[in-house]
Amino acid sequence: SDESGRDGAVTAVVADLTDPGQVGAVVDAVGERAVDAVVNNAGGFLGGSTDSLDGVADWWRANLDANVLTAVLLTEALLPALRRPGGRVVLLSSIAAQRGGGGPYSAAKAALHGWAYDLAAQLGPDQITVNVVSPGYVAETEFFGDRMTPEGHAKRVAATLVGRAGVPDDIAAAVSYLVGPSAGYVTGQVLGVNGGSVLGR
């Protein structure tokens, strides 16, 4: 419940998480409360120019900022408030981190894996878990915008072992498990939720 005693009340905080100065607004909204879980779901594939080295640098920085820096700054800012024991950190990656195909987006999502391993080792003694959810193709989202064609959809579905696209509830269920009490012995893991299009390693 919030300060007014209303159960289930949700307060939205708008902040550019690539800007350290704005991350403080989230910390302020948390106040003195303990944080049970930090789920880093910001990011996405950002297009860019490869016409010059300046364009390439801007493209890579934009993807690293949106997919890595947002997670790092938010998590670092909330670390002191994470519940000890029992806090959870979940990072949202992508199948692109494991098989490529997204240039700077793939590299940025893969960076989350390495950072999650470091963070899991750092926070393990406090009984805080850190894990990564790595979705495959998920329909019914805005990720592809108007770039998805019927052929692209069919190709991605055919690449799965289960013969269907993922849906947002598939990813939500994985996150729910990792932030819940049943996952207290799971840390430093990358959970692929991709219908078998990339097998576990």
Query: Which residues are catalytically annotated?
Result: 105
Beta-carbon contacts of residue 129 (< 8 Å; ≥ 6 apart): 87, 88, 89, 120, 123, 178, 183, 184, 186, 187
CB atoms within 10 A of CB 88: 25
Which of 79, 61, 82 is closest to 18 using CA atoms? Answer: 61
Q: N- to C-terminal Cα distance for the chain?
A: 41
The sign of the torsion formed by the CA atoms of 141, 147, 149, 151 equals negative
CA–CA separation, 38 vs 82, rounded Å?
A: 8
Q: Which amino acid is at 109?
A: K
Q: Supply 179's token pair.
A: 């932030």
Residue 99: helix, strand or coil by DSSP?
Answer: helix
- Helix (H) or strand (E) holding 191, with range, is strand 189-193
